[in-house]
Amino acid sequence: MDVLSDAIAAMRTGRPHSSRTYRHAPWGIRFAPSNGAGFHVMLQGSAWLLPAGDGAEPVALGPGDVVFLSHGRGHGLASAPDAPLEEFTLAPDGSWPRTWQGAGDGAASAVLLCGAYQLDRARAHPLLAELPEVVHLPARVGEYASLRAAVDLLGAELADAQPGSDAVLPALLDTLLLYILRAWWLREQTAGHAAGWSAALRDPSVTAALYAIHDDPARPWTVEELGARAGLSRAAFARRFATTVGASPLAYLTWWRMATAGRLLREEDLPLRQIAERAGYTSEFAFSRAFKREFGVAPGQYRRLRAAG
């Protein structure tokens, strides 16, 4: 399995939403804190991103800029740093309008794509948890070609919905998220700032072990076996893995098994015995005890709570 795609799939809940937004200056929008991660793409005009928190500096956005806010702490978006902010509200069914027209006449001074992904923060993958509060990808000629292509497709679909849009939009939003994250880590590596998971995904030895764990979490892996996959001695592999990933190989294996079980409980109507087996447990009792230790609730209760919420 692709580790980045797998990590996102384990955290994602529900459908992503997006909107093509037209604003006339002066304007301002406040996005409340949530469990999701949000993004904004400046298609035309300019704006200011207003991050949450005392002392957080406004971020100037120009045409083509992309920002991603992974921690759901709330933020503002406005034509000027001191513009009054109106609350952003969802439709009664929790969806976003595909187009959102602000007050004013004539051509809009700003056109944006805005959207959000719902995440299970109870099991936030460290790969996403280590991202900064604001990932800002300024538009530069010749950079992020795939990201730009995804933005163009998403913008066109929102501007002119066609048959099949209900299936196309979630797929495009998933694609956009992956391209945003890929562009960020590539920039970090190019700038020599790679650390943590950015370094782990660049390290062939660590990546080989991660792929093995993600591809077959039920296998009773040992550090020696994973080190062999990485082409390193047991000790050298254990040190390198812990340095980049932030956990020992077997601790990460256990964490990933529980994350996999949580996703299966949310998305699949499988007996607990089968979920236990997929998570690497031969005993349903042992699995339930390990799951409760990690999540604070038994697997059956977790499934009911997620279904109700």
Transcribe 110-136 into DSSP letters.
EEEEEEEEEB-GGG--HHHHTS-S-EE
Q: Residue 192, Cβ neighbours under 10 Å: how many?
A: 7
CA distance 73 to 80: 20
What single-letter DSSP state applies at residue 12?
A: B
Q: How high is the mean pLDDT of the chain? A: 87
Farthest CA pair distance, the chain = 68
Confidence bin at 193 (pLDDT 50/70/90):
low
Confidence bin at 192 (pLDDT 50/70/90):
low
**Contact at 8 Å (CB) between 249 and 240?**
no
**Contact at 8 Å (CB) between 103 and 8?**
no
* Nearest alpha carbon to residue 11 among 116, 115, 131, 119: 119
3-state SS, one letter per residue, for 250-304:
HHHHHHHHHHHHHHHHHHCCCCHHHHHHHCCCCCHHHHHHHHHHHHCCCHHHHHH
DSSP H/E element including 137: strand 135-137
CA distance 274 to 153: 39
Confidence bin at 189 (pLDDT 50/70/90):
confident
| The predicted structure's pLDDT at residue 167 | 87
Average pLDDT on 203-210 reads 93
Q: Do domains 3-190 and 203-308 have the same CATH topology?
A: no
* Domain residue extents for the chain: 3-190, 203-308
Q: Is the pLDDT of residue 194 over 80?
A: no
| The predicted structure's pLDDT at residue 187 | 82
CA distance 216 to 66: 35
Average pLDDT on 28-42 reads 90
**pLDDT tens figures, 289-303:** 999 998 889 999 988
**pLDDT tens figures, 148-174:** 999 999 988 888 878 888 888 888 988
- The angle that helices 204-215 and 234-245 make with each other, rounded to 10 degrees, is 90
Helices (H) and strands (E) in the chain, counts: 12, 11
| The predicted structure's pLDDT at residue 222 | 97
* The token pair that represents 15 in the structure block: 């459908």
Apex CA 216: angle with CA 270 and CA 9, to 5°? 65
Which of 117-131, 185-199, 258-272 shows the lowest mean pLDDT across its residues? 185-199
Q: Is the pLDDT of residue 275 over 90?
A: yes
CA distance 70 to 106: 34
Average pLDDT on 20-29 reads 90
DSSP H/E element including 99: strand 99-101
Q: Is the pLDDT of residue 40 over 90?
A: yes
| The predicted structure's pLDDT at residue 268 | 87
**pLDDT tens figures, 58-106:** 999 999 999 999 888 899 999 999 999 999 887 766 677 677 777 666 6
Q: Is the pLDDT of residue 1 over 60?
A: no
| The predicted structure's pLDDT at residue 94 | 66
CATH assignment of 3-190, among 2.60.120.650, 3.40.50.261, 3.40.50.720, 2.60.120.280 = 2.60.120.280
- The angle that helices 249-267 and 284-295 make with each other, rounded to 10 degrees, is 100
* Nearest alpha carbon to residue 49 among 138, 121, 150: 138
Instruction: Give pTM, 2 decimals.
Output: 0.82
With respect to CATH, is domain 203-308 assigned 1.10.10.60?
A: yes
